[in-house]
Amino acid sequence: MNAPFFSASLPSVAATTAPSGGLPEAALWLLALGPAVVGATLCGVMPGRRVAQVASLLTALVAAVLAVLVSVERPSVSAPFLQVSRFALGVDTLSAVVLVTVAVVTVLVLIFATGDVTDSTARFHGLMLLFLSAVVITAAAENLLTLLIAWEVMGATSYALIGFRWRDPSTGEAGMVAFLTTRAADIGLYVAAGAALAGGAGLGLGQLTQASDGWRNVIAAGIVAAALGKAAQLPFSFWLARAMAGPSAVSALLHSAAMVAMGGYLLLRVSDLLQITGWAATTVAWAGALTAVLMGVVALLQSDLKQLLAASTAAQLGFVVLAAGVGAIGGGASHFVAHAATKALLFLLAGTWLTALGTKQLDRLVGVGRRWPGLGAVAVVGLLSLAGIAPLSLWVTKDTVLAGALHESGALYAVGLLAAALSAGYAVKVLLVILAPTPAPTPA
């Protein structure tokens, strides 16, 4: 497949990035490791709820400031780790956008979490900060070794967060299903790392295309499997529904800009490798398009608001995966950001209504937009964006991705267009429920 749109391959970005001074490099280290240190401390010391909340919010705010700084300065840092590779982080055009998105969404989610009287404990905030650190390192990793470390920590902390209410057997089981499913897919990343060394390319993400032909195909297959698993794309989509057992704040972060989105991000980052193998780009494009359609249908049939949003997450990330397959890196990155903002908003609104009314069933949420007009107005904006209504952000980003699909294949474009129509369908379904007149109380 060709790459008709802006390409953010690591080699080309690295070639245009100016050397960094000491402050930007220190900022990148602090952004990557600072939340992990604070998070581990909160989990180990277990201070009071208020102390944990303040420490967590301050850490997230500092991380957001640092993310903006490194996105402007674009530093690269590394430290000795193993003989075959260093622990290396770097910020390029693509990761700069993602780092800021992740940091800002985390701040908003943690602000929401402070109002949760049951889950907002020191352990919860510590795990959220460890999770943030893992996502940051995943986004900035410059080689497969660094990526693998962060990828595994991200999976482990997501398991702990999904199963946070571990005394409930169903919650623990949901966390285990998510963990084992993504872990099975993660084997592909280990295979890719071994193939990269065997093929003579080394572990640098920007060097994977230099492997010999046979090994290059193995590398691509391994990365595709791991990324599709994390992004809940076919055939791994089923685990995402189980992840809804976790607290609403976890769902908001996990499904918007963090672990699930990282699967799509990784495919955008190695788009050059996908394109050079040919088959991998085609496979990824169709996996994304078909997931967007199938999970769009699943979302349309849901009667549970959080399950509808979960299915729509897999569907919307299907557009990011489709973009990676057709080489529309700019469209995929912009859709990543727009979806992160929209989905975090909608999950937090769902969590607010769940806390206030004790339900997430659509038939019991009739008229909530009228009952709380402020929240209703915000929900309308988020749902119209999810539906792809002009001039809101997801309208633009979906069209950019679909333009890339049309450049490659009329059939791929048609499937993507169907997925976009389904997006409008399930968004309007929720919109009609929350704006419907509140049912009159039944006489006693």
Q: For residue 204, list its beta bridge partners.
A: 143
Among 81-85, 109-113, 293-297, 329-333, name the one with the lowest average pLDDT: 81-85
Q: How high is the pLDDT of residue 36?
A: 97
- Let me know if residue 444 belongs to a domain: no
Angle between helices 259-269 and 122-140 (to 10 degrees): 10
Q: How confident is the model over 176-182, as a mean pLDDT?
A: 91
- Let me know if residue 3 belongs to a domain: no
- Let me know if residue 354 belongs to a domain: yes
Q: Give the confidence band of 120 by pLDDT, cuts at 50, 70, 90.
A: confident
Q: How confident is the model over 51-66, as a mean pLDDT?
A: 96
Q: Which of 419, 179, 205 is nearest to 299 (CA)?
A: 419
Q: How high is the pLDDT of residue 15?
A: 34
Q: Is residue 260 within 8 Å of 313, Cβ to Cβ?
A: yes
pLDDT at 174 over 90: no
Give CA separation, 408 vs 21, 273, 275, 320, 343, in Å.
42, 17, 12, 16, 29
Q: Within 10 A of 95 (CB to CB), how many other CB atoms are there?
A: 27
Angle between helices 248-256 and 329-357 (to 10 degrees): 170
Residue 130 is which amino acid? Answer: L
Residue 49 is which amino acid? Answer: R
- Let me know if residue 5 belongs to a domain: no
Q: How confident is the model over 271-292, as a mean pLDDT?
A: 96
Question: Is the preceding peptide bond at 35 cis, omega within 30 degrees of 0?
Answer: no
Q: How high is the pLDDT of residue 441?
A: 62
- Let me know if residue 104 belongs to a domain: yes
- Let me know if residue 1 belongs to a domain: no
Q: How confident is the model over 206-234, as a mean pLDDT?
A: 94
The string of pLDDT tens digits covering residues 359-395 is 889 999 999 999 999 999 999 999 999 999 988 889 9
pTM of the model: 0.91
Q: How high is the pLDDT of residue 17?
A: 39
Count of domains observed in the chain: 1
Instruction: Give the residue numbers spanning the domain of 203.
Output: 10-435
Chain mean position to CA 393: 17
Q: How high is the pLDDT of residue 421?
A: 96
Q: How high is the pLDDT of residue 167?
A: 76
DSSP classification of residue 391: T
Residue-averaged pLDDT of the chain: 90
pLDDT at 444 over 80: no
